[in-house]
Amino acid sequence: MQKTIVVTGGTKGIGKAILARFAQAGFQLVTCSRSTDSLDELREDFQERFPQATLHALAVDLSRPNEARRFVDFVLGLGTTVDVLVNNAGYFIPGRLQDDAADGSTMREMLAVNLLSAYDVTRGLLPHMLEQEAGHIFTMCSTASITAYPNGGAYGVAKFALYGMTKNLREELKHSNVRVTAILPGATLTASWEGVDLPAERFMKAEDVAEAVYGAYSLSPQAVIEEILMRPQLGDI
DSSP string, the chain: ---EEEEES-SSHHHHHHHHHHHHTT-EEEEEES-HHHHHHHHHHHHHH-TT--EEEEE--TTSHHHHHHHHHHHHTT-----EEEE---------GGGS-TT-HHHHHHHIIIIIHHHHHHHHHHHHHHHHT-EEEEEE--GGGTS--TT-HHHHHHHHHHHHHHHHHHHHTTTTTEEEEEEEE-SBSSGGGTT--S-GGGSB-HHHHHHHHHHHHTS-TT----EEEE--TT---
Q: Are 15 and 96 in contact (CB under 8 A)?
A: no
pLDDT exceeds 70 at position 21: yes
Just give the CATH number of 4-230.
Answer: 3.40.50.720
pLDDT exceeds 90 at position 90: yes
Domain segments of the chain as ranges: 4-230
Please tell me whether the overall predicted TM-score, pTM, comes out greater than 0.85 for this model: yes
pLDDT confidence tier of residue 170, bands split at 50, 70 and 90: very high
Q: What is the pLDDT of residue 151?
A: 86
Find residue 230's DSSP bridge partners. Answer: 185
Between the CA of residue 196 and those of 14, 22, 53, 191, what are the distances in Å? 18, 30, 35, 10
Between the CA of residue 53 and those of 25, 28, 176, 217, what are the distances in Å? 10, 6, 29, 19
pLDDT in tens, 119-131: 999 999 999 999 9
pLDDT in tens, 188-208: 877 666 667 677 788 889 999
Segment 107-113 mean pLDDT: 96
23 alpha carbon, distance to own chain's centre: 16
Q: What is the pLDDT of residue 130?
A: 98
